[in-house]
Amino acid sequence: MGEVTLKQVRSANGASPQQRDTLRTLKLGRIGKSSTRTENEHLHGLLRKVEHLVTVEPASGDSGKKGS
């Protein structure tokens, strides 16, 4: 699995405390803030809780090719 870049695009105002905690776990918390994480099942579970607040894109250094 590769890396993905997460970017918060909506405010956590009105979100539940669990969703705010999830954003902190993902090293987000403010609109426009981004972080790069390794893609795994745990990350997918966290993203499911806050999918309406963040965007997910492949990391910029990842060319999408596997192996050489």
- Considering the chain, what percentage of its residues have pLDDT values greater than 70? 87
Q: With CA atoms as reference, report the closest residue to 26 among 40, 51, 46.
A: 46
Number of domains in the chain: 1
The whole domain housing 39 covers 3-58
Return the residue matching tokens 């192996």.
Answer: 67
Q: Which two tokens stand for residue 11?
A: 């405010």
Q: What is the pTM of this model?
A: 0.80
Say yes or no to pLDDT of 61 above 70.
no
CA 7 to each of CA 11, 16, 29: distance values in angstroms, whole numbers, following the listed order: 12, 19, 10
Task: Taking residues 16-37, report their average pLDDT.
Answer: 95
The band of 62, judged by pLDDT with boundaries at 50, 70 and 90, is low
Residue 27 covered by a domain: yes
Residue 64 covered by a domain: no
CATH of the domain at 31: 3.30.1390.20
Residue 65 covered by a domain: no
Backbone angles phi, psi at 24, to 5 degrees: -65, -40
Task: Taking residues 16-30, report their average pLDDT.
Answer: 95
Task: Taking residues 2-15, report their average pLDDT.
Answer: 95
Residue 52 covered by a domain: yes
The predicted pLDDT at position 13 comes to 95
